[in-house]
Chain A
Amino acid sequence: MSEPMVWLTIFVLSIFVGIEVISKVSTTLHTPLMSGANAIHGIILVGAILVTGFAHNTGQLIFGLIAVVLASINMVGGFVVTDRMLQMFTRRKPRAKELTHE
Chain B
Amino acid sequence: MSSTPTWVQLIYLACAVCFILALKGLSSPKHARAGNLLGAVGAIVAVVTVFFAADINHLVPILIAIAVGTVIGVIGARKVLMTQMPQLVALFNGVGGLAAAVVALLELSDRVGHGGEPKFDLAMTAFTILVGTVSFAGSMLTFAKLQELMTSRPVLFPGLPVLFGLAIIGALALAVFVVTDPMVWIGIALGIVGLALGVLLVLPVGGADVPIVISLLNAFTGLTVAAGGYVLGNTVLLVGGTLVGASGTILTKLMAAAMGRSVVNIMFGALKGGSTLGAG
Contact = CB atoms under 8 A, between A and B. Distances in A.
Interface string A72-102: 1111111111111111111001001001110
A3 to B, nearest CB: 7
A18 B102 contact: no
Interface in B37-73: 37, 39-40, 43, 46-47, 50-51, 54-59, 61-62, 65-66, 68-70, 72-73
B87 to A, nearest CB: 11
With most chain A CB atoms within 10 A of its CB, the pick from B99, B214, B229 is B99
7 contacts: A19-B249, A21-B20, A34-B214, A44-B96, A49-B66, A76-B74, A96-B30
A100 to B, nearest CB: 5
A10 B246 CA distance: 13
B65 A46 contact: no
A43 to B, nearest CB: 4
Interface string B213-245: 011001001101110111010111111111111
A30 B57 contact: no
B248 interface: yes
B106 A41 contact: no
Nearest to A28: B29
Interface residues of B, number: 100
B58 A21 contact: no
A interface, how many residues as a size bin? 35 or more
Interface string B234-265: 11111111111111111100110010000000
A15 B245 contact: yes
A37 B222 contact: yes
B70 to A, nearest CB: 5
A21 B23 contact: yes
Given A44-B96, A45-B47, A46-B236, A36 B39 contact: yes
Given A29-B28, A38-B244, A82-B26, 20 more contacts: A14-B239, A17-B20, A21-B20, A26-B28, A29-B29, A30-B255, A31-B211, A32-B32, A37-B248, A66-B65, A66-B102, A70-B95, A73-B95, A74-B73, A77-B73, A78-B73, A80-B78, A81-B88, A90-B33, A96-B29
Nearest to A3: B2
With most chain A CB atoms within 10 A of its CB, the pick from B47, B96, B107 is B96
A11 B85 contact: no
A11 B240 CA distance: 10
B106 A63 contact: yes
Contacts of B109: 60
Nearest to B76: A77
Interface in A38-54: 38-54
B258 to A, nearest CB: 5
